[in-house]
């Protein structure tokens, strides 16, 4: 029993990474309907930046949140205006999908050239620090992941609910043309959602650098995991996406514990398929974005 | 000639390779209600979308208070006071009524008058005040149409273009909506009305245009067109019987 | 009624364009026959086994087969499938496992029975996966679902233990019949023949009533359904045919590699490159996949030679540039015959 609780706890803590990534994907998919398959690659890129600034300059990963997240936001704006602005306006979904694929190939292999194929992972002074609560052993760093995820979710939620631009983002994710008709610059609204999505990849990058061992190929699988989390939680709901991530973490850890590590992937993709087929609006989705036939 | 708020001159519009409007011209006098009628696919919605800047013409001009708008985007046209109530209302269903209205007053100029506009909308449509914090998608069809018009009013429009206001509404509700449109007009807002309910539209408008397959074919006062045999046979007979 | 103004209406000139069509069709058919004859007879006057262009064209043909299959579901039907690599892998593994275990007892190299099995197995999977996915949802969720299927198939093959050979896959070199010499000429011809066949199948399928239904589904699913088109049936057919072409390509490629492993038949390359080829060539056109396969493979071929080690970076850049500047594809350019829209625009 004790070990089951431990498994669940680990699942929640690791799943919070999927949660952050899924919130970002949700913003990008929600407004532009772009399947941003490069999200995982962006996270890995930022993880390398965090890793690098720690190795070279000794900057604490959590301190580099202050630089990486704004950098990611600006990079997101740049990528949007350079690559996705025109594609987002096209009816043809292949174009934006392939743009994301191209970006993924490009950045994955730039990472390979810059940092080689050796998997990296940070070893900070407090990497192994643990707290023990009611017999549960929890690493501080993993606990911090959950903190990052919750903080991200609250910030994004407040942005969407309380700000004018946030309201416009929600409007645009429902009906882009009607948003334009209100005199709202829908290109800018898309740019903001895209940039926030990439900024969240920056947050997730910090988390990845501190807890995971990562390499240049890690991004694709991670992006699909985020997509699974998003499908589980449901699109159009920040906390739903977060919950989807946590749930995916739990499912993976349960699968590893009861069936074996080799079957983690089958469990998560199996759940993905089942959710898509039987529960397309997800567990907490406000609405099904895809109409039934 | 009286003071024309909007003048569309020889406008041609194409969707890719398919042309939808051929040299369409239209004038809307300040303070009037102008109706635009015609069968499905005649190009009415295309014309409205071109006036609001969602579509860009190949040739032709759109003058608003004498200024050519062709090169301005939607945002700037809304800022100048041209606001569209799109066909099918296109409300933000999952947002609250108040959020929808707030988005209507998104631009700085409109935002400055937010409180006044809100009061005006609630005076025109008291039901919206009661439903203020409810989701727009949960309201009835008539209430949704009111919200759609209210959302446009929030932008402090000089010209409101309403596309198919009566679509899907009962005859009684249609009448209510038309009364509200007249009330809005009496308050000083110019209205360009696209309607399938031609009988009603021709009754309240001061001038009307008839479109057919991308061309402007007839124009005149509402009364004249109502009396016109071609118009009656083509449109009013079949649709008007529902009234 | 003196007030009524009758507005002069321009006469609508319909540019039909049917007149030149048959002639143009004939020219294309002629060029097609010429190309088939040229590439079909190439091994008689060019050593495809030792000359480098043999491998080159073999790869182009294999990619063209996969791309043509994706074109049917993604291009003509408008359903983005992200599971093409899974079907390619299933085809390759079907061939490899049947051959490895001598199931057919024929010992043939390029055994037609195995190749047919390689086409049938992915089609069965496509129907099993496609029915639930396509009956309930459309649009992006189909893309997600096929992506998930691809991941599951990959993991299943990796975790397959002795049956699939795990991460090492299956070595087939020892299975070569002793009297057969490995000569690329065979691969070249088989790949070419299958590529032409697949192209013809897609062509005739799309010019038939089926094609009409597929295009109707792509343009407006609800309208298609309301006109009595059995949307689900046609989507599943397109998905299954697309899957089986990928499967055949997988088996041909397996015969070339003589080693089928997850890392060489189930990679992202077999997923994204065919899509890129179709989009570059022209989505929903019969020649688009060929043009795209040729150009993209050409680029990666020379990329590997002149920018060794930087080829994937180059691929990324190429994908981005193509999508930015040629989103409607090369065949799309050709179809925008300039006098069509413009003459109409100026008239009146």
CA distance C80 to C138: 10
Of A174, A181, A236, the CB nearest to B74: A181
Task: Give the relative orientation of helices B171-186 and B114-124 as an angle to the nearest 10 degrees.
Answer: 140
Question: Which residues of chain B neighbour C3 with C-beta distances below 8 Å?
Answer: 220-221, 224
Nearest to B228 among C1, C9, C345 (CB): C1
**Cα angle C109, C112, C117; round to 5:** 115
pLDDT tens-digit readout, C189-221: 999 999 999 999 999 999 888 888 888 888 888
pLDDT confidence bin for A33, thresholds 50/70/90: confident
Helix axes C140-158, A93-115, angle to 10 degrees: 40
Q: What is the pLDDT of residue A270?
A: 92
C325 pLDDT band (50/70/90 cuts)? confident
Nearest residue in B to A170, CA atom: B95
Token couple for A98: 């392939």
Percent of chain B residues past pLDDT 70, beyond the cut: 95
Q: Is-contact C222 A292, C-beta < 8 A?
A: no
Residue that wins the pLDDT comparison between C136 and C110: C110
> What is the structure's pLDDT at C15?
39
Do C148 and A280 contact (CB within 8 A), yes or no? no
- Place B163 in a pLDDT band, splitting at 50, 70 and 90: very high
Q: Closest residue of A to B98, CA-based?
A: A167
The string of DSSP codes covering A230-291 is HHHH-TT-HHHHHHHHHHHHHHHHHHHHHT-GGGHHHHHHHHHHHHHHH-TTTTT-SS-SS-
* Of residues A226 and C19, more confidently modeled: A226
State residue A53's pLDDT score: 93
Average pLDDT over residues C320-341: 67
How far is Cα A35 from Cα A22, in angstroms, rounded to an integer? 12
Which of C9, C14, C336, C343 is the best mutation test for B, with the most CBs of B within 10 A?
Answer: C9
Query: What distance lies between CA C38 and its chain's CA centroid?
Result: 22
Q: Is B93 on the interface with A (CB under 8 A)?
A: yes
Q: To probe the interface with C, which of B17, B20, B222, B230 has the most C CB atoms within 10 Å?
A: B17
Q: Residue B227: which of C1, C10, C348 has the nearest Cβ?
A: C1
Q: Which of the listed CATH numbers 3.40.640.10, 3.40.50.450, 3.40.50.300, 3.20.20.70 matches domain B1-81+158-174+190-243?
A: 3.40.50.300
Chains that touch C (3 or more CB pairs under 8 A): A, B
Q: Which residues of B touch C9 (CB under 8 A)?
A: 22, 212, 215-217
| CA B52/CA B80 separation, integer angstroms | 11
**What does pLDDT average to over chain A?**
89
Placement of tokens 């501190």 in the chain: A210
C67, C104, C4, C86: which is closest to C297 by C-alpha?
A: C67
Mean per-residue pLDDT over chain B, rounded: 90
- State whether residue C6 sits within 8 Å of chain B by CB: yes
Structure tokens belonging to residue C259: 């080693």
- Asked whether B130 and B119 are in contact (CB, 8 A), the reply is no
A269-284 average pLDDT score: 86
Q: What is the mean pLDDT of residues A272-288?
A: 79
SS3 B22: strand
CA-nearest residue to B157 within chain A is A182
Touching chains, A (3+ CB pairs < 8 A) = B, C
Among the ranges A87-101, C78-92, C156-170, which has the highest mean pLDDT value?
C78-92
Burial class of residue A123 (count of CB atoms within 10 Å of its CB; 0-12, 13-18, 19+): exposed
pLDDT at C7: 61
- Give the pLDDT score at C194: 94
Smallest Cα distance from C327 to chain B, Å: 15
- Provide the pLDDT confidence category of residue B231 given band limits of 50, 70 and 90: confident
pLDDT tens digits for range C134-156? 887 667 788 889 999 999 999 99
Q: Which distant-in-sequence residues (6+ apart) come within 8 Å of C116 by Cβ?
A: none
Extended strands (E) in B169-237: 190-194, 207-212, 215-220
Q: Does B215 contact C at CB distance below 8 Å?
A: yes
Report whether pLDDT(B241) > 70. Answer: no
Torsion over CA of A87, A92, A97 and A101, rounded to 10 degrees?
-80
The residue in chain C having the minimum alpha-carbon distance to the alpha carbon of residue B208 is C4
What CATH code is assigned to A2-278? 1.10.3470
C-alpha distance from A143 to closest chain B C-alpha (Å)? 34
Q: Say if the Cβ atoms of C4 and B212 lie within 8 Å.
A: no
C267-320 tens-digit pLDDT: 888 999 999 999 899 888 899 999 999 999 998 888 888 887 787 888 889 889
Could you tell me the residue ranges of all domains in chain A?
A: 2-278
- Is residue A217 over pLDDT 70? yes
The DSSP-derived string for B43-98 is SHHHHHHHHHTSS--SEEEEEETTEE-TTS-HHHHHHHTEEEE-TT----TTSBHH
Enumerate the residues of chain C whose CB falls inside 8 A of the CB of residue B221.
3
* Section C70-86 average pLDDT: 91
Q: What is the distance between the alpha carbons of residues C51 and C61, in angstroms, rounded to a whole number?
A: 16
Long-range pairs of B106-114 with CB within 8 A, sequence gap ≥ 24 = B106/A164, B106/A168, B106/A182, B106/A183, B106/A184, B106/B155, B107/A183, B107/B75, B107/B78, B107/B79, B107/B155, B109/B79, B109/B156, B110/A183, B110/B154, B110/B155, B110/B156, B113/B156, B114/B154
Chains A, B: CB pairs < 8 Å = 65
Nearest to A53 by CA among A115, A112, A108: A115
Mean local confidence (pLDDT), B150-159: 95
pLDDT tens profile A166-193: 999 999 999 999 999 999 999 999 999 9
Q: Where along chain B do the CATH 3.40.50.300 domains lie? A: 1-81+158-174+190-243
User: Averaged over A219-237, what is the pLDDT?
Assistant: 90
B12, B60 in Cβ contact below 8 A? yes
């Amino acid at each position: 029993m004790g070990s089951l609780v431990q498994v669940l706890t680990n699942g929640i803590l690791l799943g919070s990474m999927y949660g952050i990534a899924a919130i970002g994907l949700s913003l990008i998919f929600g407004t532009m309907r772009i399947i941003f398959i490069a999200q995982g690659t962006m996270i890995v890129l930022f993880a390398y930046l965090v890793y690098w600034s720690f190795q070279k300059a000794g900057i604490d990963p959590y301190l580099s949140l202050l630089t990486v997240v704004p950098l990611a936001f600006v990079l997101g704006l740049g990528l949007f205006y350079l690559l996705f602005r025109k594609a987002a306006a096209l009816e043809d979904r292949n174009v934006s999908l392939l743009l994301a694929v191209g970006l993924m190939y490009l950045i994955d292999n730039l990472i390979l050239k810059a940092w080689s194929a050796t998997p990296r992972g940070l070893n900070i002074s407090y990497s192994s620090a643990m707290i023990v609560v009611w017999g549960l052993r929890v690493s501080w760093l993993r606990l911090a992941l959950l903190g990052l995820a919750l903080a991200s979710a609250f910030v994004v939620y407040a942005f969407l609910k309380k700000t004018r631009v946030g309201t416009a983002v929600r409007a645009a994710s429902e009906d882009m043309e009607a948003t334009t008709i209100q005199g709202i610059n829908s290109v800018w609204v898309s740019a903001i959602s895209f940039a926030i999505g990439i900024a969240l990849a920056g947050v997730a990058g910090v988390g990845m650098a501190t807890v995971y061992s990562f390499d240049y190929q890690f991004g694709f699988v991670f992006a699909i995991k985020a997509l699974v989390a998003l499908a589980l939680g449901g699109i159009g709901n920040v906390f739903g996406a977060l919950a989807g991530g946590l749930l995916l973490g739990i499912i993976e850890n349960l699968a590893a514990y009861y069936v074996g590590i080799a079957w983690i992937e089958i469990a998560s993709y199996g759940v993905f398929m089942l959710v898509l087929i039987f529960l397309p609006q997800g567990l907490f989705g406000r609405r099904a974005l895809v109409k039934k036939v | 000639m009286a003071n024309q708020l909007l003048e569309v001159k020889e406008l041609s519009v194409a969707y890719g390779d398919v042309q939808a409007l051929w040299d369409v011209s239209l004038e809307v006098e300040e303070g009037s209600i102008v109706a635009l009628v015609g069968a499905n696919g005649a190009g009415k919605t295309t014309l409205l979308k071109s006036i609001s800047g969602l579509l860009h013409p190949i040739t032709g001009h759109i003058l608003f208070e004498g200024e050519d708008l062709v090169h301005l985007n939607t945002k700037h046209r809304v800022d100048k006071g041209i606001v569209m109530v799109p066909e099918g209302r296109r409300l933000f269903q999952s947002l609250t009524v108040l959020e929808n209205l707030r988005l209507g007053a998104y631009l700085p100029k409109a935002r400055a008058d937010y409180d006044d506009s809100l009061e005006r909308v609630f005076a025109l449509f008291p039901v919206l005040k009661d439903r203020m914090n409810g989701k727009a998608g949960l309201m009835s069809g008539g209430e949704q149409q009111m919200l759609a018009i209210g959302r446009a009013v929030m932008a402090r429009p000089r010209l409101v273009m309403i596309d198919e206001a009566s679509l899907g509404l009962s005859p009684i509700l249609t009448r209510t909506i038309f009364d509200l449109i007249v009330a809005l007009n009496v308050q000083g807002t110019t209205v360009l009305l696209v309607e399938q309910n031609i009988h009603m539209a021709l009754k309240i408008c001061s001038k009307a245009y008839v479109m057919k397959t991308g061309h402007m074919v007839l124009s005149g006062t509402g009364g004249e067109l109502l009396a016109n045999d071609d118009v009656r046979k083509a449109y009013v007979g079949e649709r008007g019987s529902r009234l | 009624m003196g007030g009524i103004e009758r507005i002069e209406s321009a006469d609508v000139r319909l540019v039909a364009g049917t007149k030149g069509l048959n002639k143009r069709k004939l020219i294309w058919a002629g060029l097609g026959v010429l190309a088939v004859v040229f590439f079909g007879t190439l091994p008689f006057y060019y050593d495809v086994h030792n000359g480098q262009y043999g491998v080159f064209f073999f790869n182009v043909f294999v990619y063209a087969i996969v791309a043509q299959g994706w074109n049917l579901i993604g291009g003509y039907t408008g359903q983005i499938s992200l599971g093409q690599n899974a079907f390619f892998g299933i085809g390759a593994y079907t061939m490899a496992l049947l051959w490895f275990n001598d199931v057919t007892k024929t010992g043939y190299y390029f055994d037609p029975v195995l190749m047919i099995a390689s086409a049938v197995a992915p089609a069965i999977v496509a129907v099993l996966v496609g029915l639930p996915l396509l009956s309930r949802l459309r649009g992006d969720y189909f893309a997600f679902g096929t992506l998930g299927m691809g991941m599951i198939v990959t993991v299943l093959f990796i975790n397959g233990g002795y049956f699939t050979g795990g991460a090492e896959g299956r070595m087939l070199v020892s299975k070569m019949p002793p009297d057969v010499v490995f000569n690329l000429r065979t691969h070249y011809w088989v790949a070419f023949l299958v590529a032409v066949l697949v192209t013809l199948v897609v062509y005739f399928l799309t010019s038939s009533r089926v094609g009409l239904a597929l295009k109707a589904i792509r343009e407006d699913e609800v309208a298609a359904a309301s006109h009595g088109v059995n949307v689900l049936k046609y989507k599943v057919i397109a998905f299954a045919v697309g899957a089986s072409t990928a499967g055949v390509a997988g088996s041909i490629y397996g015969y070339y590699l003589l080693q089928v492993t997850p890392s060489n038949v189930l990679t992202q390359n077999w997923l994204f490159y065919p899509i890129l080829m179709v989009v570059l060539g022209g989505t929903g056109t019969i020649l688009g996949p060929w043009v795209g396969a040729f150009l993209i493979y050409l680029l990666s071929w020379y990329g590997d030679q002149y920018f060794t080690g930087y080829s994937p970076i180059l691929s990324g850049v190429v994908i981005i540039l193509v999508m930015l500047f040629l989103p409607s594809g090369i065949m799309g350019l050709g179809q925008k015959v300039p006098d069509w829209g413009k003459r109409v625009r100026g008239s009146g």
